Structure 1
Amino acid sequence: MMQPLIPLIEQIGPQWKAYFIEDFIHFFYTVFYTFIDILLQTNFYIKILSF
């Protein structure tokens, strides 16, 4: 499955890889910060409820 993709990626060149890596990092950070935000919000609500 991966074999036909490798020459295609090399044909497109490093520009495609740079865009892909940039998008992946952006996606990862968005998910990461959203998860932390939810975690902090739930922790905040738990602290309010415990008082």
Structure 2
Amino acid sequence: MHQNTTHKGLETDFKNASTGIWLLIGLVGAGKTTLAQKLWATDPKGTIRS
């Protein structure tokens, strides 16, 4: 009985985490071009490029 409750809680946490991760991926994808340009502009040594 106790294990079942714990499992259900973990399942809910996992679903919430997945939603958050996908939202994050979406945001990163949307701002990827701008972010990449900023990183490249602030990286004169070329460490990110190589």
Tell me the TM-score normalised to structure 2 length.
0.59
* Runs ≥4 residues deviating over 4 A: none
1:37: which partner in 2?
A: 22
Q: Which structure has the bigger radius of gyration? A: 1
What value does the CA root-mean-square deviation take over the aligned residues? 1.5
Gap runs ≥5 in structure 1 = 1-15
Q: How many residues are paired up?
A: 35
Structure 2 gap ranges (5+): 38-50
Q: Distance in 1 between matches of 2:32 and 2:14?
A: 27
Q: Deviations over 1:5-51 (max 9, x none)?
A: xxxxxxxxxxx211100100101111111101100101101124x37
| 2-structure distance, mates of 1:25, 1:37 | 18
